[in-house]
Amino acid sequence: MSHIQAGRDLFLREMRQLGVDVSRETRDQLEAMVNTLVRWQKAINLVGRTTLSDIWTRHVLDSAQLVLLVPPRAKTLTDLGSGAGFPGLVLAALRPDLEVTLIEADARKAAFLGEAGRKMELVKPPKIVVGRLESVPPAKADVVTARALAPLAKLLEWARPHRTDTAICLFHKGKGWQAELTEAMKDWDIPGQPFNSVTDLDAVILRIGNYTPTGVRDRQSKGRRRQDHDRD
């Protein structure tokens, strides 16, 4: 058994411990994604070379843990800076009911995403959007994800056009997440909650609700109080 195959079995065990039973069909889809990535990695750098042998835990499991935080009623998901398809393609396999949009500026990586999606034979093939996050048309979604992309403050700026008013954001963050959150709160009112990562003791998944620029809620609250006073 190869190291990558052993990693797949570990991934399946870890998912069972999380209470997620990965079906044979979903497993096959994820294997197709991994096999495609391994082939393409020889031509373009999709993941860190030192992490390739641990792809099932370092990347697939790290992405798959988000499925526990995606609301059951969510219908659409947009993944920012999808790169190698983590977490967007993984979630497309685990939640085949979702309409998934993958936004990627690098045309070569976008080509990989398209090829991997075809090889996976997903129930709902993801929509691939090639372009910079700040310039592509808004992809309004119930869930917005991003992994290893940018500091939190920048992520919130990029994500805002691509979310509905009731959307949640799920962002992977490393051990410096608290400092990033403190910095981002200078510009944003952020209703959110950190969830410990199952793959890294120092990392979290930030689940963020309807955030707004700092001061907007105060102005809205004052406006409502003024309206109530006028009616009185």
CATH number at residue 127: 3.40.50.150
Residue 89 neighbours by CB under 8 Å, 6+ apart: 33, 82, 100, 102, 113, 116, 117, 120, 126
Per-residue confidence (pLDDT) for residue 62, from 0 to 100: 98
Per-residue confidence (pLDDT) for residue 1, from 0 to 100: 47
Cis peptide before 87 (omega within 30 of 0): yes
Ordered mean pLDDT values, 10 residues apiece, the chain (232 residues): 80 96 97 97 93 94 98 98 98 98 98 98 96 94 96 96 96 96 96 96 97 71 53 56
Q: Which residue has the tokens 């085949």?
A: 96
Question: How many structural domains comprise the chain?
Answer: 1
Which structural domain, as residue segments, surrounds residue 198? 3-231
Q: What is the DSSP letter of 1?
A: -
Per-residue confidence (pLDDT) for residue 160, from 0 to 100: 96
Q: What is the DSSP letter of 149?
A: S
Chain centroid, CA 104 distance in Å: 13
What six digits make up the tokens of 4?
């990558």
What is the C-alpha to C-alpha distance for residues 7 and 59, in angstroms, rounded to an integer?
A: 11
